[in-house]
Amino acid sequence: MLKIGDKAPNFTLNDKDGNTVSLSDFLGKKVVLYFYPKDNTPGCTRQACAFASAYGEFARRGVEVIGISRDSIASHVKFAEKYSLPFVLLSDPEREAIEAYGVWQEKKLYGKLSFGVVRTTFIIDDQGNIEAVMPKVKPDTNAAQILEMLG
């Protein structure tokens, strides 16, 4: 797992509109980069909606919010439309960013072991360095927790 002070790995992925988006596009701005398991699941929906509700405050502070999962572009389109998500959602089916950020991990669910995305949020400063790492965040409080950290 990456740690505070590390250079945030760059990536280039497609957003819900099919545009390519690179982390380096956001140099000069602070970025909240959050990885989540799956569109339209209860926890991921609560987390996305919490970010959507707080999005005006993030924007006012000049902070970009980017969500990444393995879901397809089509899935992201439906998810964003259904919940009016105003921020960038990136599709990472090949796990390029997911692996680079170390969030593809063994998980235990109902006693079964499997691999998947562990819900993790990174705050990246305007120079592209990791300012905070928040592993296993709570979907309902993640956005508020970040706003509090940003001061």
Catalytic residues, by residue number, are: 44
Query: Is residue 121 within 8 Å of 105, Cβ to Cβ?
Result: no
DSSP 128: S
Sheet holding 20-22, edge to edge: 20-22, 12-15, 88-91, 63-69, 30-35, 120-124, 130-135
- In the structure encoding, which two tokens stand for residue 148, read together? 């509090």
Q: Which of 115, 58, 46 is nearest to 66 (CA)?
A: 58
DSSP 18: S
